[in-house]
Amino acid sequence: MTDTLHNRLHLQLKELNQLRQSISSALQNKIQTHLDDIEYNNNKDLTKVVESIINEFIDDLFNSIKYSIDLDGISIENLNKSNIIDILNNPLKLNEKVEPHDFALDDKLRDLYAKVEIKIEQVTKLRKSKPNEVYNIYETMYIENLNDIDKLIDKYINNQSNGDDEGEADKEDADEANYDDLKLDLENMLQDLVELKDSVPETKRQLENMSNVLKFVEK
């Protein structure tokens, strides 16, 4: 991913080949001029040796820039493993029709990769903090429910004790009212516990999905 995003010089294969031919032609003309000046023009062996050295230098130079260029129709992976000169000498490659490079798409891909990196960081942080956060929330709710139940029981016991000094009719009415209140409060507490229990599998599923997404992105 990183290799495809770093700033490579984008070229078409024909453009690169024309550049190579122009450099080679200019150097050959320069060599010929200097050999003429020193009257070595008739020494064809020397001319061939010098031309061979220059051509080898040019080939090495062009092959060394393959990690800094991006050629249409050739993947970065294949370009890194290939010899640039072999590609330039391949007429099939030179005459192959290639769709023009979409620089706008490159920009969109860079933005997308940047957003993916941000999401990976966010998911990593959530993976570390979210389970503890969820556990603490449920633990707090559970303790609060237990405390509420204890308070209701204490309230009921106190009402029972206070009712000993009241008349029998009043005591029965108070007991019935306290019982109804206690029953309603307990039902509410139990409903909270049921909802808490039901929400645990869903939360677990969400955490597992989050973990699976992170594993997929990290591949």
Question: What is the C-alpha to C-alpha distance for residues 216 and 204, in angstroms, rounded to an integer?
Answer: 18
Backbone angles phi, psi at 8, to 5 degrees: -100, 150
Q: Does residue 214 share a domain with residue 123?
A: yes
Q: Does residue 133 share a domain with residue 213?
A: yes
Give the residue from 103, 80, 83 showing the smallest Cα distance to 93. 83
Looking at the structure of the chain, the number of domains it has is 2
Q: Does residue 114 share a domain with residue 93?
A: no
pLDDT at 62: 85
pLDDT at 84: 81
pLDDT at 3: 47
pLDDT at 50: 81
Question: Stretch 104-129: mean pLDDT, rounded?
Answer: 74
The count of other CB atoms within 10 Å of the CB of residue 66 is 20
Q: How confident is the model at residue 200 (pLDDT cuts 50, 70, 90)?
A: low
pLDDT at 89: 79
pLDDT at 1: 41
As given in the structure block, the two tokens for residue 98 are 């290639």
DSSP code string of 162-180: HGGGS-HHHHHHHHHHHHH
Q: Does residue 113 share a domain with residue 213?
A: yes
Identify residue 93 by its one-letter amino acid code.
K
Q: Does residue 120 share a domain with residue 199?
A: yes
Q: Does residue 132 share a domain with residue 84?
A: no
Q: Does residue 129 share a domain with residue 30?
A: no
Q: Does residue 148 share a domain with residue 207?
A: yes
pTM: 0.38
Question: What is the C-alpha to C-alpha distance for residues 88 and 202, in angstroms, rounded to an integer?
Answer: 59
Average model confidence (pLDDT) across the chain: 70
Q: 41 in helix, strand or coil?
A: coil
As given in the structure block, the two tokens for residue 131 are 């389970």
Q: Which domain-ending residue is among 100, 117, 140?
A: 100
Backbone angles phi, psi at 11, to 5 degrees: -140, 155
Q: Does residue 210 share a domain with residue 117?
A: yes
- Give pLDDT tens digits for 18-52: 888 898 888 888 887 777 666 555 566 777 788 88
Domain that residue 158 falls in = 106-218
Q: Does residue 47 share a domain with residue 148?
A: no
Question: What is the C-alpha to C-alpha distance for residues 54 and 48, in angstroms, rounded to an integer?
Answer: 10
pLDDT at 39: 58
The answer on pLDDT for 141 being more than 80 is: no
Q: Does residue 214 share a domain with residue 119?
A: yes
Q: Does residue 202 share a domain with residue 121?
A: yes
Question: What is the C-alpha to C-alpha distance for residues 83 and 62, in angstroms, rounded to an integer?
Answer: 9
pLDDT at 40: 55
Q: Which domain-ending residue is among 81, 100, 119?
A: 100
Exposure class string for 111-135: b at 16+ Cβ within 10 A, else e: eeeeeeeeeeeebeeeeeeeeeebe
Q: Which domain-ending residue is among 100, 128, 151?
A: 100
